[in-house]
Amino acid sequence: MNVDLFFQYIVAGITYGTIYAVVAIGFNIIYNATGIINFAQGEFVMLGGMTAVSLHRFLPLPSAVLAAVLITMIVGALIEVLFIRWLHKPSVLRMIIITIGLSILIREIALHIWGEGVKALPYFTGTSVSSIKLGGVFVSPQVIWVVGISAVMVALLSFFFNYTIAGRQMRACSANREAARLCGINAKNMVTLSFALSAAIGALGGCIVSPITYVQYDSGTPLAIKGFTVAILGGLGNSFAAVAAGLLLGILESFSIWVMPAAYKDVIAISILLVILFVRPSGLFGSREAASMKEF
Amino acid sequence: MLKIRNLEAGYGKLKVLRRVSMHVAPGEIVTIIGANGAGKTTLLNTISGLIRARAGEIVFDGKEVGRMPAEKVVLLGCSLVPEGRQVFSSMTVKENLILGAYVQYRRNKKDLLPAGLAKVYGLFPVLKDRERQLAGTLSGGEQQMLAIGRALMGEPRLIMMDEPSMGLAPLIVKDIFAIVRRLREEGNTVLLVEQNAKAALRIADRGYVIETGRIILQGTAEDMLANKDVQRAYLGRDLDAETMV
């Protein structure tokens, strides 16, 4: 393998890894607020991409993306209000079944609205064949957009959780729900906010990646599996670990093409998921002690 | 300030509180003593809104709060320092205090935050030193101070404390009780639940004894300290042995 090819693999790995990380962060936000895994997270990514493609027919690209993110955000909040808010202390199994059910529901609705066709947003700048030369590597401008927007998003999220009142309230709820209520924080509203926020993040991820990976009514599920793997690999609930784990998985997948057929790419993610669940369920960066105290 | 009449509450099918009636007047320290499982914590959790009252009424400052959720009760000025401290351990000391002031923010008094912080740091200088440390890394006594400080940040009119001395070294317990006394001197009203009955009655004005969910005895703190039943059951004095001598 020559050096140029090596870096080409790295770039591809970073691109996919970033998307996995974005999906994993969506998982983590809801996990932190509620202690559950929202298996409909991948559907938020699909909804964002699909809505943006439809809106782009009459709106310029930036406003179409923005509107798609807002619409998905509202969908996320509605899902929480309609299906989750009124449950009184639901068991983990019940929540898993509800979110899996929701993901099937959203997928079927998407099939009715958009059909089976494969869609994509146009490249944000340039075209599918344009590239920027960075060192010895040719990089699609969309890759820069994906990595750049995701980086800004992670920075904004970190600011939100550490320095704003709503962000601190959300962290307080995940640290100790009863104590948060005793401080006057409405824990139920924080859960709704967490669904809205992670829907918005998923949708934005879906928009920025759709020119490269395309979007289809059922494209959320594979992304959800990858995102889930990354969330587990990094340690559930830890968003910075998710970024590291996402990049790791993306790069591993990308290099796997070198040693085995591309069709086996997904084997890497699933194998990692299984190995981690068997060997170190708390994740690479998670603390074992904390994981042992969690219900799930 | 706080008036409870015929309160009943519990968990699921389990009925814990049976027709509890009591009151707290402004400026008082009132203590509730009783053995493990008597219903002390349930009583405080019901007043604070974490548990919904099944029957009876809880009136705080003229408002019925028995069926109000916890986040609204605290907004009225009734704060609970929960059992086992319950600080936000993954957040810094300062963030914990800022979250305690969230009710002030809801009351549109967020400009009082620096003054509130200064007041709590004045009361607990050690929290100022540990400002940037994660709350989970504090010692038990420091966490208790933080939990009290967090409740004080909301400028409550009634502070309820659930077993503030639990699991602390005797020297620190002394500090905590000194702080409770100081809070009263500054005009606060305190409802104190304690297993350490002797220490609690020494600083309290009045007391209630709760047993299997019922108030079985009430009176001024001096009367209760002198009461033979209380002495035998809760103050660890062996009267039978004394009369034999």
Distance to chain B for A231, nearest Cα, Å? 19
Position A132 scores a pLDDT of 85
Name the residue of chain B whose CA is nearest to A174's CA. B88
d(CA B145, CA B10): 29
Please report, for chain B, the start and end positions of each structural domain, with discontinuous segments joined by +: 1-77+157-245, 85-155
For residue B12, give the nearest of B48, B44, B42, B57 by alpha carbon.
B42
pTM summary value: 0.88
DSSP assignment string, A98-116 = HHHHHHHHHHHHHHHHH-S
- Asked if residues B68 and B53 have their Cβ atoms less than 8 Å apart, the reply is no
Interface of B with A in 87-126 (CB under 8 A): 87-91, 95, 98-100, 102-103, 105-106
Quick check: B88 and A171 CB within 8 A? yes
Tally of domains in chain A:
1
Task: Quote the distance between the C-alpha of residue B32 and its chain's center.
Answer: 9
pLDDT at residue A184 is higher than 70: yes
Listing DSSP states for A259-272 in one string gives HS-GGGHHHHHHHH
Q: Determine the residue of chain A that is closest to B160 in CA distance.
A: A182
The pLDDT assigned to A257 comes to 83
A183 DSSP assignment: T
**pLDDT tens-digit series, residues A34-64:** 888 899 999 999 999 999 999 999 999 999 9
Question: Out of 3.30.930.10, 3.40.50.620, 3.40.50.800, 3.40.50.300, which CATH number does the structure's domain B1-77+157-245 have?
Answer: 3.40.50.300
Q: What's the mean pLDDT in A182-199?
A: 94
Is residue A186 pLDDT above 90, yes or no? yes
pLDDT on residue B95: 95
For an interface test with A, give the residue of B42, B86, B92 to mutate (most A CBs within 10 A). Answer: B86
Q: Looking at B118-244, which runs of residues are DSSP E strands?
A: 158-162, 189-194, 206-211, 214-220
Residue B19 Ramachandran class (φ > 0 left, ψ -120 to 50 alpha, else beta): left
Q: Which residue matches tokens 């981690």?
A: A276
CB contact under 8 Å between A175 and B88, yes or no, is yes
Q: Name every chain A residue with its beta carbon within 8 A of the beta carbon of B80.
A: 182
The percentage of residues in chain A with a pLDDT greater than 70, rounded to a whole number, is: 96
| 8-state DSSP, B92 | B
Q: In terms of residue numbers, what domain contains A33?
A: 3-293
Which residue among A172, A181, A184 sits closest to B88, beta carbon to beta carbon?
Answer: A172
Considering only the beta carbons, identify the residue of B75, B88, B103 that sits closest to A179. Answer: B88
In this prediction, residues A181-202 reach a mean pLDDT of 95
Residue B3, pLDDT above cutoff 90:
yes
pLDDT band at residue A291 using 50, 70 and 90 as cut-offs: low
Q: Which of B44, B80, B94, B102 to mutate to test the interface with A (most CBs of A within 10 A)?
A: B102
pLDDT tier at B123 (50, 70, 90 boundaries)?
Answer: very high
User: Looking at residue A294, what is its pLDDT?
Assistant: 54
Burial grade of A118 (CB within 10 A; 0-12, 13-18, 19 or more): exposed
What tens digit of pLDDT does each residue of A57-108 get? 999 999 999 999 999 999 999 999 999 998 877 788 888 899 999 999 999 9
Q: Please list every residue in chain A whose beta carbon sits closer than 8 Å to the beta carbon of residue B150.
A: 183
- Which amino acid would we find at residue B135? A
Which CATH number characterizes residue A185's domain?
1.10.3470
Q: Is B145 on the interface with A (CB under 8 A)?
A: no
pLDDT tens per residue across span B143-180: 999 999 999 999 999 999 999 988 898 888 998 999 99
Residue from A182, A168, A65 nearest B51 by CA: A182
pLDDT for the residue numbered B245: 53
Q: What is the pLDDT of residues A107-155, one digit of tens each?
A: 999 999 999 999 999 999 888 788 888 777 888 899 999 999 999 999 9
CB-based contact A183 B103, cutoff 8 Å = yes
Number of CB pairs, chain A paired with chain B, less than 8 A apart: 68
Cβ atoms < 10 Å from Cβ of A237: 22
Span B42-47, average pLDDT = 95
Cα A31 versus chain centre, distance: 12
Q: Is the ipTM of this complex over 0.85?
A: yes
pLDDT given for residue A153 in this prediction: 94
**Is B74 in contact with A187 (Cβ distance < 8 A)?**
no
| Nearest CB neighbour to A184, from listed B75, B87, B98 | B75
**% of chain B at pLDDT higher than 70:** 98
Q: Cα-flanking dihedrals φ and ψ of residue A215, to 5°?
A: -140, 145
The dihedral formed by the CA atoms of A168, A172, A173 and A177, expressed in degrees to the nearest 10? -160
Enumerate residues 61 to 90 of chain B having a beta carbon within 8 A of any beta carbon in chain A: 69-71, 74-75, 79-80, 82, 86-90
**Predicted local confidence at residue B205, as pLDDT:** 95
Please tell me the predicted confidence (pLDDT) of residue A40.
Answer: 93
